[in-house]
A and B are shown apart, each in its own frame.
Chain A
């Protein structure tokens, strides 16, 4: 199947700093990617839909200025957690859908720990 890769797989940062997470579709082009957040022992919550060449669409309750999403190319979307705080610590997962298919492929996830 198609491959979606995230980097870094884990990151630890100090409170107040910004962290960037990359999501790449390795063998297909993706005009749309999705970013999720997973709390311990809870489900994945959709944060935003990343659209290549245009602004991301955020779900209700997600702070646009806190979670900056950039989808500058057909194979790369980035999520930047700005001025991170301990409550932003979580597992962030991206997914992408190859053209003309109904299946989403997920990255391995990126675990963020904010001290």
Chain B
């Protein structure tokens, strides 16, 4: 079945450091790929998405490119801020399944001043 694998956290970085959170997936067909962010005490929010191979999703300085050849959707940011501290979830949706999402295990990011 479809699945998503994320790197384990927590990831601890200093402010302005470069961030990469790895995400790989297994899926039949052509899923859409998403990154969600969960700030402390809040619900999940969509950070960015890509719907087809080679698409690049971007938002708030974060980027991720849909790589079909490596079945990956790694999240990157060139310079993190303390306010980026949160849990990040990679997810995929099979368009044929009414937008049901399958999530990775989440990666906690802690950015220190």
Shortest Cβ distance from B6 into chain A, in angstroms?
Answer: 8
State whether A46 touches B102 (Cβ < 8 A): yes
Q: Is B57 part of the contact surface with A, judged by Cβ < 8 Å?
A: no
- Chain A residues with a Cβ closer than 8 Å to the other chain, count: 21
Contact of A32 among B36, B41, B98, B106 (CB under 8 A): B98
- Contact-residue bracket for chain B: 20 to 34
Q: Is A88 part of the contact surface with B, judged by Cβ < 8 Å?
A: no
Q: Which of B45-59 contact A (CB under 8 A)?
A: 45-46, 49, 51
Nearest residue, chain A, Cβ from B90:
A43
State whether A104 touches B105 (Cβ < 8 A): no
Known contacts A43-B105, A44-B103, A49-B98: does B43 contact A93 (CB below 8 Å)? yes
Contact of A103 among B46, B89, B103, B104 (CB under 8 A): B46
Q: Is B7 part of the contact surface with A, judged by Cβ < 8 Å?
A: no
State whether A46 touches B100 (Cβ < 8 A): yes
State A75–B42 Cα separation when bound (angstroms). 20
State A6–B98 Cα separation when bound (angstroms). 22
Contacts of A42 in B (CB 8 A): 105-106
Contact of A108 among B42, B51, B89, B103 (CB under 8 A): B42
Q: Is A84 part of the contact surface with B, judged by Cβ < 8 Å?
A: no
Q: Which of A94-109 contact B (CB under 8 A)?
A: 95, 97, 102-104, 106-109
Nearest residue, chain B, Cβ from A46:
B100
Known contacts A42-B105, A43-B89, A43-B105: does B43 contact A34 (CB below 8 Å)? no
Q: Is A4 part of the contact surface with B, judged by Cβ < 8 Å?
A: yes
Rank and list the top 10 A-B pairs by shortest CB-CB distance, nearest first.
A106-B44, A106-B43, A43-B103, A108-B43, A43-B105, A44-B103, A107-B43, A103-B46, A97-B99, A43-B106
List 29 A–B pairs whose Cβ atoms lie within 8 Å, in order of A's numbering.
Answer: A4-B43, A6-B43, A32-B98, A34-B100, A34-B101, A41-B105, A42-B106, A43-B103, A43-B106, A44-B89, A44-B101, A44-B103, A46-B100, A46-B101, A46-B102, A49-B100, A93-B43, A93-B44, A95-B44, A95-B101, A97-B99, A102-B99, A104-B99, A106-B36, A106-B44, A106-B45, A108-B41, A108-B42, A108-B43
